Amino acid sequence: MLSDENIIEYFCVEDILKKYPPSGQKQVLLIKHKTYGVVILKIVEGQSERVKREIAIVTENNFNNVPRVLEVKDYQIGNQNGIYLLEEYIDGDSLKKVLGQGKLSLKDAMNLTEQLLKIIVQMEEKEIVHRDIKPDNIVRNSIEKWYLIDFGIARALNMNSLTMTEVQMGPHTPGYGAPELFQYSKKDIDSRADLFSLGVVVFEAITGKHPFVRGDELNINEIWYNTVTVVPQSVVVDGDTDMQFMGLIQTFMQKHVTRRPRTAKKALEWFYSVRREIER
């Protein structure tokens, strides 16, 4: 890992405002940059193909509600080399932090659902699956706009997989990943995996409870088992008298991929239909 002195000297940094927990060979910092102002600096040691793909996915597609990449370059400092990027900083709180203060109202949950569905539709059009939609990776700014961050394990369906075919499971976060991700049925992985994760997130946001994880699980195997066997409870939410919104979210969380909406675009259409009924 690079020292603060090296970071300030080599990356045009005026001040290091915050350090995030390191992940593997990646350093992530909130900095004040001499040109761009307050931004996120990511420094990745070595030439990681997964990191290169993450950068390409974000920079080449210019998705709405996804932080923009401002600069990407290789670096060489002493005997350490790698890639660094400067990324737009979203000044707000993660959904995880928001939920620490209480669950969302129906109105706020529908706003979250609409914005995330629109992002998934954009990714679907570019044949990209995020694979890691969870409260930590969703950020709300001061004007109620939700952003999806961290494309570190995203998969481009039109490119060769970076995960070896013989592995038992694909990249995901247990409890939020769809069954086809941890069972690693490659042929079934598409935007419907992201719809599953969105369903889990919204269920948790609006009920205050995770649909599969109780918190007393002994290991990851138990979380996986719950994900494929536990049917989320139907919960009556204030304003969702006929449970139409809850029904939609449960459809997103169907265990079998064929039972979810066929596409993200279709899921968004269903959402608008449900919202119109609720707002009548």
- What mean pLDDT value characterizes the chain? 90
CA distance 209 to 170: 26
190 is catalytic: no
**CATH (domain of 159):** 1.10.510.10
Q: Which of 30-39, 72-81, 91-100, 260-269 has the lowest mean pLDDT?
A: 72-81
What local confidence, expressed as pLDDT, does residue 270 receive? 98
**Given 26, 55, 88, which residue is the final one in a domain?**
88
Residues 195, 79 share a domain: no
pLDDT of residue 28 exceeding 90, the answer is yes
**Given 40, 58, 88, which residue is the final one in a domain?**
88
Residues 263, 215 share a domain: yes
Q: For the segment 165-198, what is each residue's pLDDT rounded down to a tens digit?
A: 444 445 678 899 999 988 877 788 999 999 999 9
What local confidence, expressed as pLDDT, does residue 55 receive? 82
Q: For the segment 102-120, what is each residue's pLDDT rounded down to a tens digit?
A: 999 999 999 999 999 999 9
Residues 259, 211 share a domain: yes
What local confidence, expressed as pLDDT, does residue 46 receive? 85
Look at the chain and report how many structural domains it folds into.
2
Residues 100, 74 share a domain: no
Q: For the segment 211-247, what is each residue's pLDDT rounded down to a tens digit?
A: 998 877 778 889 998 999 999 988 999 999 999 999 9
Residues 229, 119 share a domain: yes
What local confidence, expressed as pLDDT, does residue 233 receive? 87
Active-site option among 93, 132, 194, 242: 132
Indicate the pTM of the whole model. 0.89
Residues 264, 151 share a domain: yes
Average pLDDT over residues 129-157: 93
Q: For the segment 35-54, what is each residue's pLDDT rounded down to a tens digit?
A: 999 999 999 898 777 777 77
What local confidence, expressed as pLDDT, does residue 167 receive? 42
Residues 81, 11 share a domain: yes
CA distance 142 to 124: 28
Residues 198, 169 share a domain: yes
Average pLDDT over residues 255-279: 97
Give me the percent of the chain exceeding a pLDDT of 70. 95
What local confidence, expressed as pLDDT, does residue 52 receive? 78
Residues 43, 81 share a domain: yes
Q: What's the domain range around 117?
A: 92-279
What local confidence, expressed as pLDDT, does residue 168 receive? 47
Number of neighbours of residue 185 by Cβ within 10 angstroms: 13
Residues 83, 97 share a domain: no
Write the secondary structure of the chain as one string of H (helix), E (strand) and C (coil).
CCCHHHHHHHCCEEEEEEECCCECCEEEEEEEECCCEEEEEEEEECCCHHHHHHHHHHHHHCCCCCCCEEEEEEEEECCEEEEEEEEECCCEEEHHHHHCCCCCCHHHHHHHHHHHHHHHHHHHHCCEECCCCCHHHEEEECCCCEEECCCCCCEECCCCCCCCCCCCCCCCCCCCCCHHHHCCCHHHCCHHHHHHHHHHHHHHHHHCCCCCCCCCCCCHHHHHHHHHHCCCCCCCCCCCCCCHHHHHHHHHCCCCHHHCCCCHHHHHHHHHHHHHHHHC
Residues 107, 200 share a domain: yes
**Given 88, 107, 124, which residue is the final one in a domain?**
88
What local confidence, expressed as pLDDT, does residue 159 receive? 67
What local confidence, expressed as pLDDT, does residue 164 receive? 43
Residues 236, 175 share a domain: yes
Give me the percent of the chain exceeding a pLDDT of 90. 70
Average pLDDT over residues 51-64: 84
What local confidence, expressed as pLDDT, does residue 165 receive? 43
**CATH (domain of 19):** 3.30.200.20
